[in-house]
Amino acid sequence: MFDVGCYNLHAIRNIIGQEPSSIYASANYHPEFKVDMTMTGTLNFDNGIVTSFDSSFDCAPRQTYEVVGSKGTITVTSAYRPDTNEDMTGEIHVVKDDSSVEIYEESGDQYTLMVEDFANAVLNNQHLTYDVTSMQQQMKVLDAVYESSKTGGKVVKL
């Protein structure tokens, strides 16, 4: 989770715009190194939204997330590493319930963007895009995911 899985949780928290109220997770741990090789789970929110996530070193690599709602879906390809594509572009597919499809492209080197954001904050006395509080919340969610997975899938309340 600390490697490939943290991106899923970050995306969920940002899309929903609030912190989860409870978490359930299950994992397969490496027998020798005790690191999670596969993690799956659900995050429940006070507004009734339920999300699911998975990450794995044992499965084929993928970087896609999907938002499914009552009026359509949004699928983001190369969501976490668009820079691994030759053209450094990820796509956002919006499919509405009337079957219409809209495709948007986003590009950029995420590492360059992070350094530029930090430099802007330092040089121009601006706020960082993601502040310390947001990252502390991310760690609370990650800790709860691990707690749930290590207790046989006990639901952890936040």
What pTM does this model have? 0.88
| pLDDT score for 90 | 87
| 156-157 and 36-44 beta bridge pairing | unpaired
| pLDDT score for 55 | 94
Q: Is residue 63 part of a domain?
A: yes
Report residue 34 as tokens: 């005790």
- Check if the beta carbon of residue 42 is closer than 8 Å to that of residue 70: no
Q: Is residue 132 part of a domain?
A: yes
Please tell me the total count of domains within the chain: 1
Q: Residue 68 belongs to what domain range?
A: 6-157
pLDDT, tens digit, 9 for 90 and up, residues 89-126: 889 999 999 999 999 998 878 888 889 999 999 999 99
Q: Is residue 109 part of a domain?
A: yes
Show Cβ contacts of residue 3 under 8 Å, excluding neighbours closer than 6 positions.
57
What does each of the 158 residues of the chain score in pLDDT, given as a tens digit? 888 889 999 999 999 999 999 999 999 999 999 999 999 999 999 999 999 999 999 999 888 999 999 999 999 988 888 777 788 788 999 999 999 999 999 887 888 888 999 999 999 999 998 888 999 999 999 999 999 999 988 999 99
Q: Is residue 88 part of a domain?
A: yes
Q: Is residue 1 part of a domain?
A: no
Task: Give every strand in the sheet of 22-29, ordered side by side.
Answer: 50-56, 36-44, 22-29, 156-157
* Rounded Cα distance, 73 and 128, in Å: 30
Q: What is the DSSP string of 76-144?
A: ETT-S-GGGSTT-EEEEEEEETTS-EEEEEEE--HHHHHHHHHHHHHHHTPPPSS-HHHHHHHHHHHHH
Q: Is residue 20 part of a domain?
A: yes
In the chain, the N- to C-terminal Cα span, in Å, equals 18
- Check if the beta carbon of residue 53 is closer than 8 Å to that of residue 12: yes
Instruction: Return the CATH number at 24.
Output: 3.30.360.10
List % helix, strand, coil for the chain (3-state, nearest 5): 30, 30, 35
